[in-house]
Amino acid sequence: MNRLSDEQALELLRDALPAYGAGGPPADLWPRVRHRIDRAADRPPAGDWVLAAALVLLCLLRPSLMGILLLHF
């Protein structure tokens, strides 16, 4: 088996990977990320509200379930 020197390994890496331009990324991604974060934080989905209401209803009907739920959370 041939052993590569550091210089040979670096040369192979440079040939295999595309050169990254000095200009940086083509566009600033932070505004798009911020928009997605803001959009996701608007309000929880309706399914979460249904699940919360079902848990409250179950705890009202069977108070013994509250202890089991407290063990899980």
pLDDT tens per residue, range 34-69 = 988 887 767 778 899 999 999 999 989 998 888 888
Please answer whether residues 62 and 56 qualify as being in contact, where contact means their C-beta atoms are separated by less than 8 angstroms.
no
Domain boundaries, the chain: 46-73
Q: Using CA atoms, how far apart are residues 8 and 11, in angstroms rounded to an integer?
A: 5
Q: How many other CB atoms are there within 10 angstroms of residue 33's CB atom?
A: 10
Top pLDDT among 23 and 69 is at: 69
Top pLDDT among 5 and 20 is at: 5
Structure tokens of 31?
Answer: 């505004």
